[in-house]
Structure 1
Amino acid sequence: MNAKSEMDDAVVVSTVVIAKMFNMTPRRVRQLVEEGVVDRIGHGRFNLIDTVSKYITFLKLNTESLTEGDITESLDYEKWLHEKAKREKAEIELAHIKKEMHSSGEVEEVMNNMMMNFRQRMLAIPSVCAPFLVNRTEPKYIETILEQNVNEALNELSEYDPSMFVDDVEDIVEVEDIADG
């Protein structure tokens, strides 16, 4: 951006406006200019954003006994934190696109379906096993039939299939396209 367009975007205010904003007299604003705390862009004219920023820095230096280097370090740290958060967000989005990570909604839906199927399977065991157990009194045979049906129901829970988390075939194609391109 060139200097002219920066000036076009700047909000220019008078000494009186700055004085009212900072709850001081216009004379005190002129003193701040003389002390180098704030800068004018012309006679009685101030860039609002620049002036407020510099006055806040001035107040921080005076009230917290900080040096200008401390503030710069603090700003650098904040920028680093921001960049780190952006990177982490991008990594999460990429993992989601590659289907290496799933949203909580997707996991909830798949797990609810699995649990409902398991519940139905468990509740069906008595009616499935009853015909085999009619008139049977041998405990070992009854145990074997029940154990076989419970194990079949439990096997459904152990069968992880990543395709359960894909909404449709188009999602798979998109991931392959991204990986290729």
Structure 2
Amino acid sequence: MKPTVQAYLAYLRNNNGDLNQQRAELTKTKKELAKLELDERKGDLHRTEDIEQALSTMLMNFRTKIMSMPAKLAKTLAGMSDNAEIYDLLKKETDEALDELSDYDTAFAVQQEGADDGRTDEEPE
């Protein structure tokens, strides 16, 4: 009977160690999750879906500007003969279109204002 008792005690010790390790891992995971949630609320971290939506919005706005340039400029450019004026007008319109790509803060703000994905500030545990 002595070896059986010793084996049982060893079993209890090993399982207790596993339980303590699991608790430590759970505590660590909860801490990491709380940090991520805090970073997201502070705006230091963005969800992948939010980034994809903001980038999509930016690129669609950029595409629209680029695609509208020929129709917008054709008549004006047809009447111009000075290369410097043509260059200045094309540069101005190109820079305006490129500004769409540099204004990611606005894209995030517009995306976040329009988002209604049902997320709440408090998640059930």
TM-score by length of 1: 0.51
By how many angstroms is 1:124 displaced? Answer: 1.2
Kindly provide the CA deviation profile for residues 58-92 of structure 1, in whole angstroms up to 9, marking residues without a partner as x: xxxxxxxxxxxxx95x8766654443222111111
Q: What does residue 119 of structure 1 align with? A: 63
In structure 2, list runs of 5 or more residues that go unmatched.
Answer: none
In structure 1, list runs of 5 or more residues that go unmatched.
Answer: 1-29, 40-52, 58-70
Q: What does residue 54 of structure 1 align with? A: 11
Question: Distance in 1 between the 2:63 and 2:115 partners?
Answer: 28
Q: What does residue 13 of structure 1 align with? A: none
Q: What does residue 108 of structure 1 align with? A: 52
Q: What does residue 8 of structure 2 align with? A: 38
By how many angstroms is 1:99 displaced? Answer: 3.7
- Among 21, 31, 34, the alignment partner of 1:90 is 34
Question: Distance in 2 between the 1:124 and 1:32 partners?
Answer: 86
- The answer on 1:163 being equivalent to 2:109 is yes
Identity level (%): 23
TM-score by length of 2: 0.70
8 Å contact from structure 1 (residues 37, 54) kept in 2? yes
By how many angstroms is 1:123 displaced? Answer: 1.4
8 Å contact from structure 1 (residues 106, 165) kept in 2? yes
CA 1:77–1:115 in 2, change beyond 3 Å: closer, same or farther? Answer: same
The count of aligned residue pairs is 118
By how many angstroms is 1:156 displaced? Answer: 2.0
By how many angstroms is 1:104 displaced? Answer: 0.4
- Among 64, 72, 97, the alignment partner of 1:128 is 72
State which structure, 1 or 2, has the greater radius of gyration over its C-alpha atoms. 1
RMSD between aligned alpha carbons? Answer: 3.5
Kindly provide the CA deviation profile for residues 17-37 of structure 1, in whole angstroms up to 9, marking residues without a partner as x: xxxxxxxxxxxxx45324x12
8 Å contact from structure 1 (residues 102, 165) kept in 2? no
Name the structure where helix makes up a greater proportion of residues: 2
SS at match of 2:8: coil
